[in-house]
Structures are given as structure tokens and as C-alpha cells.
Amino acid sequence: MRFSDSVALITGAGSGIGKAVAVRLADEGARVILVGRTRSKLEQTAKEINSARKLPVAEIFSADVTDEEDVIELAEYVEEQFGDLHILINNAGGSNSSSILEMPADEWDKVQAANLKSVFLVSRTLGKLMASRAEQNKDEPENRAVVNVASLSGHQAGAHIPHYSSAKAGVINFTKALALELSRYGIRANSVSPGFIETPLTEAGLQNEQFVKSIERNTALKRVGTAEEIANLIVFLASREASYVTGTDVVADGGWLIK
């Protein structure tokens, strides 16, 4: 129960990696705030978490984390309902396929907002609450951490996703700047760069046998990863066990980059 008495917020918590992280944090004692745009998905995740417990530990807040007003309302909700925030997981994001020469500017902006602007807005706005509470409790410091979900594509540009690759590279470097700024409050910030992971967002692509064989051929471990495997890493970085780790990006790609 590494997160007893902790409050954790996860964006993009309705499915995939975000859902796996929320379940894992709740299983280890945290009260979790599930954030996303699709309320039905959040409700299903909360139901799965709470159904196994006498007292509910999962709450939902429907928000578009690319919208500054939504994020401000989210921060007000967290402060009013929970009074504190210890763990922040920026997982929301998404992409589509496009080439640079054919890409409309608004498509670039949309993907940048979903994957990079959202991390900035949530980290800035919720980070203020985390920093304020850390200052108030500096005589008895608590474990506080931010983990941002980047991507293998932030290290190696993927075909037809230049907007996504650029945004995720930005997440990696933004996290380093965030770690430096939050260090004065004893708050750590790290990022995780997953490789090819089986989630609802990748489900269609992974039905392509040739694509899957290509992943297996070019990945040292010869397989696609699972959301639970990435959740394991995120939860470790959020825990006291990673108390001397900050400003780092951890690649979890099954060995794609070493092939």
C-alpha cells in the first residue's frame, strides 16, 4: 500500500494506460481522480475500481485538458473536494496519420494541444496546488510526484506522425524543465516513453498481421507491450521507491531502439 493517504489524479483515465494506472494506484491505497473527455468511459473505470471496495476511492471529473478554463475548474474541484494532490499522471493524448507536406495547420495544432499543451496546462495549474501544500507541510515532507506519458516517437520520429513525434519530444524536455522548477518543493517529475503498447487506440493497427510482425521483428523482446506493464513503471516513478529519480525519461519499448 505505497499510496495510502495519497490523492492521485490521472488524465486520459478512461481506457488504456491511464485506466491501468488508475486501477494500480487505487489497489495500492490511493484515492484517485479520473479525468477525461468521455464521461461514460470514466464512469466505467470508476465502477470497476469502486465495486471491489466498501468505500469508493475513485471519483471522476469530465474535462478537456487542452482547455484552460476546464483545467482551472479541475484544480478548483481537487482543492475543494480533496484539499491536496500528491500524484499527478499526465496521460491524455492522441494522434492521427498525416504527412508534413499535406498537413493542415489546424491538424498540427490539435495534436500539439492534445499531447503537449495539455501537459503544460495541467502541470502548471495542478502543480501550483501541489507546491502550495508541499510548502505548508515542509516540516513533514510527503511523497509528491508528476509522471508524464511521452512516447518512443519522441525519441525516434514515426512515419506519418510528425505532429505527434514533435509533441512527445516536447513532453520529454518539458518534463526536465518541470523537474528543475518543482525540485525546490521536493516534488519529482519524470516521463515514460512507451513503445508499441496494446490499448484501444492501437487496437485497429494491431489487427494488421503485417504490422504486428514488423513490430515483433524490430523489437528485441519480439512482442507488443501491455498497458499494465507501462502502469507498473509509472506507478514506480510515482512512489517513494523512486525518491532520488527526477528529470528523467524512462523508455519502455521492449528494446526497439537497440535493434
Flag whether 114 is in a domain: yes
Higher pLDDT, 148 or 206: 148
Is 164 an annotated catalytic residue? yes
Please report the pLDDT score of residue 199 as a whole number. 84
Query: CA dist 185 to 1, 45, 138, 139, 188, Å?
Result: 24, 32, 8, 12, 9
Report the domain count for the chain: 1
CATH code for the domain in which residue 246 is found: 3.40.50.720
User: What does the pLDDT average to over 86-105?
Assistant: 95
In a domain? residue 151: yes
In a domain, 20, yes or no: yes
Is 258 inside a domain boundary? no
Instruction: Please indicate, yes or no, if residue 174 is contained in any of the structural domains.
Output: yes
Q: Give the H or E element holding residue 137.
A: none
Confidence of residue 220 (pLDDT cuts 50, 70, 90): very high
C-alpha cell at 244: 532520488
In a domain? residue 177: yes
For residue 2, being part of any structural domain is answered with: no
Question: What's the domain range around 33?
Answer: 7-252
Q: How does residue 207 score in pLDDT terms, banded at 50, 70 and 90?
A: confident
DSSP secondary structure letter of residue 93: -
pLDDT-derived band of residue 259, with 50, 70 and 90 as boundaries?
confident
pTM value is: 0.96
C-alpha–C-alpha distance, residues 6 and 122, integer Å: 18
Query: Given 77, 164, 185, 244, which residue is catalytic?
Result: 164
pLDDT of residue 63: 98
* Residue 127's pLDDT band (cuts 50, 70, 90): very high
Contact between 84 and 134 (Cβ < 8 Å): no
pLDDT tens digits, 69-89:
999 999 999 999 999 999 999
